């Protein structure tokens, strides 16, 4: 994703808000950690300046703001960077409250589409409920494209047994590129592997435990 620099905001009120917000979040401790004691006691650092630069992607969907906090104490100076980002793409939870539209496909599977104009996510599975779950997972993946630091949670537990008695186990992170996301034992007793997208297509889900 390429970014183009946006001119610094001309509004002094925005800069003042950034100055106040960062000062409240960071406080004096980070500055103290970077400066030696003076005469056996630490001097109180002061915020010497704040500069905010906005970066917007070419599609206009993501805005990242970098704020440089200049902190001084005596003759020494340190600079701290605070980066925030926001995008026009909805957070994944917004799609959960929307009603999907379903379509029966020729191969017997179902397609679920969830729309938050102008954005749309689609999922396919062997059941309508599974198609909705697949669409919500696509929303998670798409959101991460705009926010690389966003952590996608698996829609499945690390270990579980499905209604057919098949046990599934999450594969270690270091091996997922080679094998997939989960391992299971097939009907022939052989260990096999599947990624989350395949599991959602098959509508794999943990067995419901009966209440005692």
The beta strands (E) that lie in 11-93 are given as: 46-57, 62-73, 76-87
Residue 128 has pLDDT above 60, yes or no: yes
CB 136 within 8 A of CB 123: yes
Question: Tens digit of pLDDT for each residue in 10-35?
Answer: 444 555 554 455 444 444 444 444 44
Give exposure, 77-114, as e/b (b: 16+ Cβ within 10 Å): ebeeebeeeebebbebeebeebebeeeeeeeebbbbbb
> Which pLDDT value is given to residue 8?
43
The two three-digit tokens of residue 147, written as one number: 């926010």
CA gap 202, 127 in Å, rounded: 8
| Per-residue model confidence (pLDDT) at position 38 | 47
pTM: 0.61
Predicted pLDDT at 51:
52
The rounded mean pLDDT for the chain is 75
> Given a cut of 50, is residue 122 above it in pLDDT?
yes
Least confident piece of the model among 38-47, 114-123, 155-164: 38-47
Using an 8 Å Cβ cutoff, are 112 and 123 in contact? Answer: yes
Q: pLDDT per residue over 172-194, tens digit each?
A: 999 999 999 999 988 788 899 99
Element (H, E) at 21: helix 12-26
Give me the pLDDT at residue 78, please.
65
């Amino acid at each position: 994703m390429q970014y183009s620099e946006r001119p610094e905001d001309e509004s002094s009120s925005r800069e003042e808000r950034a100055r106040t917000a960062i000062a409240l979040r960071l406080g004096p401790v980070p500055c103290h950690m970077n400066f030696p004691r003076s005469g056996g006691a630490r001097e109180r650092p002061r915020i010497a300046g704040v500069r905010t630069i906005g970066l917007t992607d070419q599609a206009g969907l993501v805005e990242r703001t970098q704020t440089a906090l200049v902190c001084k104490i005596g003759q020494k100076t340190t600079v701290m960077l605070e980066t925030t980002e926001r995008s026009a793409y909805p957070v994944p939870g917004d799609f959960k409250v929307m009603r999907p539209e379903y379509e029966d496909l020729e191969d017997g599977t179902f397609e679920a589409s969830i729309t938050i104009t102008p954005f749309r996510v689609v999922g396919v599975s062997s059941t309508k409920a599974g198609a909705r779950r697949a669409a919500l997972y696509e929303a998670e993946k798409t959101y991460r494209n705009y926010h690389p630091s966003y952590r996608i949670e698996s829609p499945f537990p690390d270990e579980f047994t499905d209604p057919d008695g098949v046990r599934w186990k999450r594969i270690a992170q270091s091996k997922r590129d080679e094998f997939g996301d989960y391992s299971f034992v097939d009907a022939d007793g052989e260990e096999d592997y599947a990624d989350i997208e395949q599991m959602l297509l098959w509508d794999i889900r943990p067995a419901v435990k009966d209440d005692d």
